[in-house]
């Protein structure tokens, strides 16, 4: 059975262009929102160490979006993903690193880089 994020009608299909790779700082992150009728899908990508990873923009502990505003998904040092709602940290691999999210994981959102562009996968 598909997770609620996977079953979301607003989730973009594979092959949708998100942005140019150089639009995401190294290290950095960028969020994306998609709407289909009354449904909303929110995801973000993290660029670090030459790798781009996508996640559903949803704190597994609290259920709200991670960034309070803009594309502020990472700590100032760029070493962790920050839940602005309660200050919990995740590794760049999406694993909870501090309380209250220790042991929880961000939901992956498959993305790929082709010819300097980031796409859904």
pLDDT digit string, tens, across residues 97-121: 998 889 999 999 999 999 999 999 9
The residue with greater pLDDT, 64 or 28, is 28
Write down the pLDDT at residue 6.
62
CA 100 – CA 4 distance, rounded (Å): 22
CA 2 – CA 22 distance, rounded (Å): 33
Q: Which whole number is the average pLDDT over 53-73? A: 92
pLDDT digit string, tens, across residues 28-49: 999 999 999 999 999 999 999 9
3-state secondary structure of 105: strand
pLDDT digit string, tens, across residues 3-25: 656 678 999 999 999 999 999 99
């Amino acid at each position: 059975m598909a997770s609620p994020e996977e079953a979301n009608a607003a989730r973009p299909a594979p092959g949708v262009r998100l942005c140019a790779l150089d639009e995401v700082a190294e290290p950095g992150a960028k969020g994306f929102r998609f709407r289909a009728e009354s449904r909303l899908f929110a995801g973000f990508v993290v660029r670090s160490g030459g790798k781009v990873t996508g996640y559903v923009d949803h704190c597994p502990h609290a259920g709200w979006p991670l960034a309070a505003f803009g594309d502020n998904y990472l700590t100032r040092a760029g070493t962790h993903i920050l839940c602005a709602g309660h200050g919990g940290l995740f590794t760049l691999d999406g694993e909870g690193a501090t309380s209250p999210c220790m042991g929880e994981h961000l939901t992956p959102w498959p993305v790929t880089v082709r010819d300097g562009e980031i796409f859904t996968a």
